[in-house]
Amino acid sequence: MIAKTPTGRQLLATIDAQFIDIVGPIGQLLKEDAKLLWRQKQWNGPSALRNYIKALAANIDSKTDRERFIQQSSQTVMDAAANHNKSMKGRL
């Protein structure tokens, strides 16, 4: 699971916060269900976060809110990847 690194934990915390902002306090329980699904399905690699986001989004009834969450969280992942790539270039 990506949460093994500080950056990964921060990324998941941001995605979780975005989800909870939309669904409210019940999101605390729903995100734990999605993380359990992640472990059960053994999602790994680049698609792991995409699958996690989809699992969370499946709990959002409003199509507009669901699409907004997917867009927002996907952008968060892309920004994190871009920042990671910049920091890696600085190390070379």
Residues 35-73 have pLDDT tens digits of 999 999 999 987 999 999 999 999 999 999 999 999 999
Residue 64: predicted pLDDT: 98
* CA–CA separation, 80 and 84 (whole Å): 6
In a domain, 34, yes or no: yes
Please report whether residue 4 resides in a domain.
no
Does residue 7 lie in a domain region? no
Closest listed residue to residue 5, CA positions, set 74, 86, 84:
84
Residues 6+ apart with CB under 8 A from 73: 15, 18, 19, 53, 56
Q: Percent of the chain at pLDDT above 90?
A: 73
Q: Please check whether residue 28 lies inside any domain of the structure.
A: yes
Domain range spanning residue 30?
12-86
Domain count, the chain: 1
